[in-house]
Structure 1
Amino acid sequence: MNIHEYQAKELLKAYGAPVAKGTVATTAQGAAAQAKDLSGDVFVVKAQIHAGGRGKGGGIKLVKTLEELHAEADRMLGKPLITPQTGPKGASVRSVYVVEDTTIARELYLSLLVDRASGRVAFVASTEGGVNIEEVAANTPELITTLDVDPASGLSGFHGRVIASALKLEGDLAKQCGKLVKTLYNLFIEKDASLIEINPLVVTKEDKLVCLDAKMGFEDNALFRHPDIVELRDIHEEDPAEVEASKHDLSYVKLDGTIGCMVNGAGLAMATMDIIKLYGGEPANFLDVGGGATKERVTEAFKIILSDPNVQGVLVNIFGGIMRCDTIAEGIIAAARETNIAVPLVVRLEGTNVERGKELLRDSGLAIIPADDLDDAAKKAVAAVKAAA
Structure 2
Amino acid sequence: MTETPPRKIRVALVFGGRSGEHAISAATAGGVMKAIDTDVYDVLPVGITREGRWVLASGDASRWQLSAGNLPEVTADSGREIASLSEAGPVDVVFPLLHGPYGEDGTIQGLLELAGVRYVGAGVLASAVGMDKHYMKLVFAGHGLAVGPYVVVRPGDWERRQSEVVDRIQAELDFPVFVKPARAGSSLGVTRVDDVTGLADAIEEARFHDPKVLVEQGLQGREIECAVLGGRQGGPPRASVPGEIVVDHGAASFYDFEAKYLSDSQARTEAPADLPDDVAERVREVAVQAFEAIGGEGLSRVDVFVARDGEVVVNEINTMPGFTPISMYSKMWEASGLSYTELVDELIQLALERPLGLR
Q: TM-score, normalised by structure 1?
A: 0.37
Q: TM-score, normalised by structure 2?
A: 0.39
The one of the two structures with greater contact order (alpha-carbon pairs below 8 A, sep at least 6) is: 2
Larger Rg: 1
Structure with more strand by fraction: 1
